[in-house]
Amino acid sequence: MHSCTLRKVLVFVLALMFLAAARQASAELLFFAGDRSMSVKSHRFEGDQIVVSLRGGGEMTLDRSTIIRISPDEVPYDDEQAVSAAGTTVPEMPGRLIERTAYEPLIQQASVTHGVPVNLVKAIIQTESAYQPRARSPKGAMGLMQLMPKTARQYNARNAYDPRANIEAGVSYLRTLLDQFELPLAIAAYNAGEGAVRRFGGIPPFPETQAYVAKVQALTGSLVLP
């Protein structure tokens, strides 16, 4: 009786260990110039480019020459982990605009539909979520373009983690802001809210918002609105 019980306990423990291992996945670290690094699921080379699978889902294409080295990421993570866009689990993107990702058709379609420059949409996504569709901030912002629940409802994004719905709603909201404010203020409003921009009569004096506007503008460069 004791032996049978012991075997059941061992089987149960092994099963738990197997499930825990199954939830964790290996990862890789990409190293860029300037001591920057980025944790990804995996990579593959396509000519002069490298296509990386992001930990939060989706792919991103980079110039092969921008990568100094690739090594295993020894830190395990859960596949179902909800990644915070304001936390340390979002990988630091290179300091230039990522031109091509798996979401290119969705971005192009939404940009044309709403008359928003493609590079602005890409810069917002890169800054907000690092192209991780499952990103979630401590304040509840969701998905690629970090939609707050109220914004998601307002722009009919029933599933804010669905890339198509998220990008469509985010770009539509961005169009609304561009219709009200000049470009820098529209970017600030996307981060801090329309009310804050109006209350301060310009970019709010919040370090986070000021850094956000500077980063988006640096990624877009000289941008002329249609």
pLDDT digits (tens, 9 = 90+) for 147-199: 999 999 999 999 999 999 999 999 999 999 999 999 999 999 999 999 999 99
Known catalytic residue at 182 = no
What percentage of the chain exceeds 70 in pLDDT?
Answer: 69
Which of 145, 215, 142 is CA-nearest to residue 177? 145
Q: What is the pLDDT of residue 33?
A: 62
Residue type, 214: A
Identify the top-confidence range among 29-38, 46-55, 85-94: 46-55
Q: What is the pLDDT of residue 171?
A: 98
Residue 27 predicted with pLDDT over 80: no
Mean confidence (pLDDT) of the chain: 79
- Summarize the confidence of residues 71-88 as an average pLDDT: 48
Topology of the domain comprising 77-220: Lysozyme (1.10.530)
Given 28, 46, 104, 128, the catalytic residue: 128
Q: What is the pLDDT of residue 34?
A: 54
Domain ranges within the chain, ordered by starting residue: 77-220
pLDDT (tens digit, 9 = 90+) per residue, 188-223?
Answer: 999 999 999 999 999 998 999 999 999 999 998 766
Q: How confident is the model at residue 224 (pLDDT cuts 50, 70, 90)?
A: low
Q: What is the pLDDT of residue 190?
A: 97
- Summarize the confidence of residues 35-54 as an average pLDDT: 75
Q: What is the pLDDT of residue 47?
A: 84
